[in-house]
Structure 1
Amino acid sequence: MTKPPTSGASGAAERAVLAVIGPTASGKSSLALDVATAFNGTVINADSLQVYKELRILTARPSAEEEACAPHRLYGVLPGNAGCSAGRWLDMAQREIGAAQDEGRLPIVVGGTGMYLQALIEGLSPMPDIPDEMRARAARRREALGAAAFHEEVAAFDPEAARRIPPGDTQRLIRAWEIYHQTGRTFSAWRAAPRRRAATLENMQFHILALTPERSVLYPSIERRFDAMMTGGAVDEVRALLALGYPPGAAVMNAVGVEQIKAYLEGTLRLEDAVSAAKTLSRRYAKRQLTWLRRQVSRAKRIDTQYSESLKPEIFSFIRQFLLTR
């Protein structure tokens, strides 16, 4: 990611955007809410699963009480069978950033989905439009083959994408499959094209706060949070999701815990084994997020631990440095 610019001209505060990024269970949402309440901010979601409405618990969306404390945007705004590419999210995020600034509020973009954040700060490579029938064909193919075989099929025509995308990341693998079969050109080749930033973001000043706790600290937090999800109604949430009849390729079905709890509900996995498998996947996902963050945001303001209120003085001082007093 690019280095966040430094404010230095009159009126620059009106164009400032704060990005709060970090792996799952690092405290991003709590940090964003504290900043929003202290600095008159609007929290804008940049998590690829929290955009869907069906899974508040399993995707760790802010609670209704938290959302009432400050404006929250792009949380639970799409049905789980709707596609949300980086381009679609970027279109929505641009509108919300502009709306916040028009209201005199600080836009606070928060999430751990790297391609969303790259799209916002660095721009997007051009990607083709994919017809609905091709997208449905890709989902049917994945369902017929299963995760491992589908990953191998993608690897046969786009080995670079297969190296980057794990077999369990259904949404991105389907994206690679559908782009290749629609255009005859690999997803990796499209992705390698020069990035273009949206004109509406050209004058924005992005300032990045990155939470990068050590795995020895993060992993126990992930496990405690998943236990809290289970006691908080995750099984009933998945049961209600399954009743909607979404296909396996639907984006929301890719959330960690859905497949494992589904197996428990179908009687093919014991509950304790389902929980253990979901925790393992969560840890692996967090590891990938940390690896990406440490490579991409070396010039961000890094906080090498989980967020807690004791960090407020340091973080708030950083924010005050780029917000000009009127």
Structure 2
Amino acid sequence: METRKSEADVTARAARPRAVLIAGPTASGKSALALALAERTGGVVINADSMQVYRDLRVLSARPTREEEARAPHRLYGHVDGGEDYSVAHWLEDARAALAEAEREGRLPIFTGGTGLYFKALTQGLSPIPAIPADIRERVRGLGLDAPALHARLGEVDPETAARLRPSDTQRLMRALEVFEATGRPLARWQETPPEAPVLAPETSVRLFLATDRTALRARIAERFHAMMGEGALEEARALLARELPADRTLLKAHGMPWFARHLAGEIPLDDAIEGAILDTRHYAKRQDTWFRHQLAGWTALPKEDAAGFLAEAVN
């Protein structure tokens, strides 16, 4: 009897996909869906959201609660200090390790989050861009240029990348300038280099994108943000600002942080900060939806109400 059970377990694992990937806009219900699947299958939830990697903003980044984390194993949540530089390449290495750990333990890896570049790197690989030396990074960031000036400067050395980036996207503009300063080669040329083999071949995984009704999503974003206020979002923001981190740190750009910073500096009332944060989050969700639909071919797009049944059938 025991031998038959072991053989059945091996057969089931062989038939099961190597991993499940659940993507979608912010507030679309990804985390709840991933947790339910992890509980049902004995799987592990692996974070694919660039803000939820940081430990400083559990509430404001909508990280799973401690109670949710107790219901199933979670990986790559809150494991990075807000003062650190953390890139797609760093996440990819951490994801590789989390995937290997899940496979050693016989658990189904369930990647979920809203950062499209993480999923793209995981399933398509990264271009082999060399690491940027710290002195060059500090030199570029020490220029003190605002976003329009960074965009103009990038246009002089890498017009192709500059044309693709929003003039307000300070982080990516600085990244492109750092690459040029470090290598003498435009980022656009590096991105044409064939990527390294992906950590997770797309055909070995179930890839689900949560399609959402835009009106309903707008309402959920507002509802969730107001709930965050009751859970201590403003206090988290105050604590992070008290650390006096360099202004270019990614976490300071989390949804709500720029607005809360203005409120705590006495520039605007709290109600204005909340409304500004909600509006920014809605705009971000729209960009996420557009990016996923254009960049991740081969994914199954379903509304949340159909997603659980699809996953149940896909993982057998």
Give the TM-score of the pair, scaled to structure 2: 0.89
Determine if contact 1:171/1:254 at 8 Å carries over to the other structure.
no
8 Å Cα contact 1:170/1:254 also seen in 2: no
Determine helix, strand or coil for the equivalent of 1:68. Answer: helix
Which residue of the partner structure matches residue 120 of structure 1?
Answer: 122
Question: Residue 318 of structure 1: which of 292, 295, 310 is its match?
Answer: 310
Q: For residue 6 of structure 2, what is the aligned residue in structure 1?
A: none
1:122-172 superposed Cα distances (whole Å, 9 cap, x missing partner):
11111111111222223323xx22333333333443333334433444332
Equivalent residue number for residue 6 of structure 1: none
Q: Deviations over 1:280-320 (max 9, x none)?
A: 2111111111001122345322113xx3xxx3xx4344334
SS at match of 2:71: coil
1:69 to 65, 68, 71: 71
Give the direction of change, closer, same or farther, for the CA distance of 1:155–1:235 in structure 2 (3 Å limit).
farther
Higher Rg = 2
- Aligned to 1:83, what secondary structure does the other structure show? coil
The aligned residue for residue 284 of structure 1 is: 283
Amino acid across the alignment from 1:69: R
Equivalent in 131, 137, 141 of residue 133 of structure 2: 131
- Greater relative contact order: 1 or 2 (C-alpha under 8 angstroms, separation 6 or more)? 1
Q: d(CA) in 2 for partners of 1:12 and 1:197? A: 22
Report the Cα offset of residue 202 of structure 1: 5.1
The aligned counterpart of 1:300 is: 299
Is the 1:169–1:254 Cα contact (8 Å) retained in structure 2? no
Shift of 1:18: 0.3
- Equivalent residues of 1:14, 1:104 under 8 A apart: no
In the alignment, the residues of structure 2 paired with residue 167 and residue 66 of structure 1 have an alpha-carbon distance, to the nearest angstrom, of 38
> Quick one: distance in 2 between partners of 1:163 and 1:64?
42
Corresponding pairs, count: 306
CA distance in 2, matches of 1:203, 1:224: 35
Q: Give me the TM-score of the superposition, normalised by structure 1.
A: 0.87
CA pair 20-203 structure 1, distance change in 2 beyond 3 A: closer
Residue 170 (structure 2) aligns with: 170
Which whole-Å CA distance do the structure 2 matches of 1:316 and 1:266 have between them?
A: 44
Residue type of the partner of 2:37?
V
Q: Could you tell me how far apart the structure 1 residues matched to 2:280 and 2:311 are? A: 34
Question: Is the contact between residue 24 and residue 286 of structure 1 (CA under 8 Å) also seen in structure 2?
Answer: yes
- Could you tell me how far apart the structure 1 residues matched to 2:284 and 2:48 are? 16
Query: In the alignment, does 2:241 pair up with 1:242?
Result: yes
2:17–2:315: 8 Å Cα contact kept in structure 1?
no
Match of 2:209 in 1: 210
- In structure 2, the residue matched to 1:29 is 31
1:84 & 1:227 partners in 2: Cα distance?
Answer: 29
SS for the counterpart of 1:209 is strand
Checking the alignment, whether the CA contact within 8 Å between 1:19 and 1:208 is kept in structure 2 is yes
Q: Classify the secondary structure of the residue corresponding to 2:142.
A: helix
Letter in 2 for 1:147: A
> Structure 2: how far apart are the matches of 1:132 and 1:279?
35
Q: Give the corresponding residue for 1:5.
A: none
Does the CA-based 8 Å contact 1:15-1:203 persist in structure 2?
A: no
SS in 2 for 1:43: strand
Structure 2 contact 165–172 (Cα < 8 Å) conserved: yes
> Structure 1 64/164 Cα, relative in aligned 2: closer, same or farther at 3 Å?
farther
1:315 and 1:254, CA in 2 relative to 1: closer, same or farther beyond 3 A?
A: same
1:151 alignment counterpart: 151
Question: 1:205: how far off?
Answer: 0.9
Amino acid at match of 1:257: G
| CA distance in 1 between partners of 2:36 and 2:205 (Å) | 19
Could you tell me which runs of 5 or more consecutive residues in structure 1 were left unpaired when the two chains were aligned: 1-8
**In 1: Cα distance, 2:147 partner to 2:276 partner:** 16
Residues 254-273 of structure 1 aligned to structure 2 (within 5 Å): 254-273=253-272
Deviation at 1:40, TM superposition (A): 1.1
| In 2, Cα distance between equivalents of 1:247 and 1:211 | 35
Cα drift, residue 15 of structure 1: 5.5
2:79 is the alignment partner of 1:87: no
Shift of 1:46: 0.6
Q: 2:105 aligns with which of 79, 103, 106?
A: 103
Aligned to 1:195: 195
What one-letter code is carried by the residue in structure 1 that aligns with 2:214? R
Partners of 1:16 and 1:204 within 8 A in 2: no
How far is the alpha carbon of 1:272 from its aligned partner? 2.0
